[in-house]
Chain A
Amino acid sequence: MKKSLLLWAIFGALMCLLPLFTSTGTLRVFIFANFLAIFAMSWDILSGYTGYISFGHPFLIGIAGYTTAMLTRHTGTPLFLSIPLAVFFTMIGGTLFFFPALRTRGTYFALVTLAFMEVTYHLMQVVEPSLTGGTRGLSGLPLLFTGAIPNYYLSFFVMFVIALGLWALTRSGLGTVLSAIRLDEESVKSAGLNTSKLKLFAFMLSALVAGIGGALYTHYLGSISPRNMFDINFLFTILIAALIGGEQSIVGPILGAYFLTFLLEYLRPYIPGAWRFLLYGVIALLVYYYAPKGLYSIFQAGTNRLGKKIKRNEQYGQTT
């Protein structure tokens, strides 16, 4: 526990110092990585832990984005009001997600959530285009900050606070019982626990995180459109970030998000267009093949070894 907190502190400090060393271009990549990390953690707390695989996270993120976009555009609501409202509506969306989870599991649940996303994608374009901006979406939305450095700090701090919060929660009994639901939901009921209540909490928590991320992301980009939001590629980026990093760890999705974002970014000059995605598929497969539990397992093995080495040195120091 102490060792982990130390690692978190080091990570936080390093990331705070980052703008001193890097260009604004790299910072912008980091900003995207931070947002992706938020989305991947949101996915992890629900799907990674409870095993209810969501293929509809863009739906939740989209509710947040569209709520705040429409509020600021049409009613002139200030951001400090529109963003909390967006998060609130996302959590309502999270409960919508929850109802199919009372009856379906596994693949069926995943497909229902995918349907949520697809239906919203089509509805956004035809229902009330004057409100939603139709196919083109809404642009020219107010920004929270301008410039890479303030935006970097914002995205990092939000990501960092969410990460610490989720990390602490999942190391408590909550993490244990959510994993238990994934392993054998009936047995959790037999332990006298109301699994519906626990699942609902996981859904709300996931929606809360997705909502915060989605609203802030929209005001970072300054625009939103159905094509970019309710998109299968966006969904897969979130899934792969969580899986490559290692699900059920909270730390994994952060590692995965950074890895994936920088991978795609650095491949950009060498490989044109969509071919990059082919390569990241290959890399994802390689990671799975050699480290099925994701980058986090490699990271953990590394820190364990380091910890043992330090311990050994200390012991050696004492005896001499």
Chain B
Amino acid sequence: MAKLLDVQSLTKKFGGLFAVYDLSFHVDEGESLGLIGPNGSGKTTTFNLIMKELKQDEGEIYFKGKEISKYPTHERVKMGISRTNQIPRPFSEMSVSKNIRVGIMPDELMRIISMNSQSDAERKIGKSVGFKEHALAMYPRELSMGDLRRLELARALATNPKLLLLDEVFAGLTVGEIAELTELLKEKKEEGLTFIIVSHDLRSLATLVDRVVVVSFGRLIAEGSFKEVIADEKVQEAYLGKQHSQI
């Protein structure tokens, strides 16, 4: 399978601290990759680098075989990379459907101006992530955490991505919501979406991902199938500390 995203020796320093250090990994087309690690291990920073919300100090990022370091965020989105935010950040004064509409918008002035005020596309995307008809007219302040995460996902899907970066999509959700969202992601995967998912909810990840990459202090410490990685001593040490991992 062709590599969709290939990250090579990615490094990002904040002051004297390496948030990401010499990190290399890749994701194949159609694959789902779990990116896990303890708090502060550089997972979100990695996403920020891939989206160029931050600029890497060193390393290369290849998307579909092309080095994309020089492209700004919006160009990368147009190439087919999209993300959700760990802390949902919807446009607070806009309804759910209007939030999705911004995601659908083409990057051409004339087409933005001639856009219909009511498009079926935003309704379709909204419904595909599980919004009911009446919820489309609701405002972000009226939504539950589950629905806010749904909206994040809808906005990311609205840009029609090939590769989706999912940052802590399960955090703050009920068990039922997590199950729903997992099903939804599996469906999207069937439809050919490639994604990288960051989550602390390892149980949900187990059935969702093909492969896992573990980072700690910005460095890659393990890589492999979910079972292999969980059994890895270094991973247990990173998550639980040395003493507990030996028990």
Q: Roughly how many angstroms separate A179 CA and B93 CA in the complex, as a whole number?
A: 9
CA distance A195 to B94 in the complex (A): 18
What B residues does A187 contact at CB under 8 A? 89-91, 102, 155
| A186 CA to B85 CA, complexed, in Å | 11
- Asked whether A176 and B102 contact (CB < 8 A) given A184-B91, A193-B107, A194-B107, the answer is yes
A174–B108 Cα distance when bound, in Å, is 10
Residues of A within 8 A of B114 (CB): 172-173
With beta carbons under 8 angstroms apart, the residue of B53, B92, B93, B102 that contacts A191 is B102
Contact B101 A189 (CB under 8 A): no
Q: How far is the CB of B84 from chain A (nearest CB, A)?
A: 9
CB neighbours (8 Å) of B83 from chain A are 190
A192 contacts partner chain B, Cβ-Cβ < 8 Å: yes
Number of A residues near B (Cβ < 8 Å) is: 24
Closest CB-CB distance, B140 to chain A, in whole Å? Answer: 10
- From B51, B98, B107, give the contact of A190 (CB < 8 A): B51
**A309 shortest CB reach to chain B, Å:** 23
Chain A interface, >50% SS class: helix
Taking a contact as CB atoms under 8 Å apart, the answer to whether B109 and A197 are in contact is yes
A171 touches B78 (CB 8 A): no
Max chain B C-beta neighbours (<10 A), residue from A172, A173, A174, A184: A173
What CA separation (Å) do A184 and B93 show in the bound complex? 11
Q: Which of A160-219 contact B (CB under 8 A)?
A: 169, 171-174, 176-177, 179-180, 183-184, 186-195, 197-198, 201
Contacts A191-B77, A195-B74 known; A177 to B91 CB distance under 8 Å? no
- Within the complex, the shortest CB–CB distance from B107 to chain A, in Å, comes to 5
Q: Are B105 and A193 within 8 A (Cβ)?
A: yes
Q: Are B113 and A189 in contact (CB under 8 A)?
A: no
Residues of B within 8 A of A172 (CB): 112-115, 117
Whether A192 contacts B159 by the Cβ 8 Å rule is: yes
Establish whether residues A173 and B113, one from each chain, have CB atoms under 8 Å apart when the complex forms: yes
Residue in B closest to A168 when the chains form the complex, CB atoms:
B113
Contact count A vs B, C-beta below 8 Å: 84
Instruction: Name the distance in Å between A180's Cβ and chain B's nearest Cβ.
Output: 5
CA distance A168 to B73 in the complex (A): 30
B89 touches A173 (CB 8 A): no
Known contacts A187-B91, A192-B77; A177 and B105 CB within 8 A of each other: yes
Contact across chains for A180 and B112 when beta carbons are under 8 A apart? no
List residues of chain A with CB within 8 A of the CB of B82.
190, 192
Contact A190 B77, CB 8 Å, known A176-B94, A179-B93, A184-B91: yes
Residues of chain A contacted by B115 (CB below 8 angstroms): 172-173
Of A173, A179, A184, A189, the residue contacting B105 (CB under 8 A) is: A173
Q: Please measure, in the bound complex, the distance between the C-alpha atom of A207 and the C-alpha atom of B63, giving whole angstroms.
A: 40
B112 touches A174 (CB 8 A): yes
| Nearest CB of chain B from residue A229's CB, rounded to whole Å | 32
Across the interface, name the chain A residue whose C-beta is closest to B158. A191
Bitwise, B98-134 to A at CB < 8 A (1) or not (0) is 1001110101010011110100000000000000000
- Asked if B72 is at the interface of the complex by the 8 Å CB criterion, the answer is yes
Residues of A in contact with B (beta carbons under 8 Å apart): 169, 171-174, 176-177, 179-180, 183-184, 186-195, 197-198, 201
Known A174-B113, A179-B91, A186-B73; further 20 A-B contacts with Cβ < 8 A? A173-B114, A174-B109, A176-B94, A179-B93, A179-B94, A180-B94, A183-B93, A184-B89, A187-B91, A188-B102, A189-B73, A190-B51, A190-B53, A190-B73, A190-B82, A191-B74, A191-B102, A191-B103, A192-B77, A192-B105
Residue positions of B touching A, CB distance < 8 A: 51, 53, 72-74, 77-78, 82-83, 89-94, 98, 101-103, 105, 107, 109, 112-115, 117, 155, 158-159
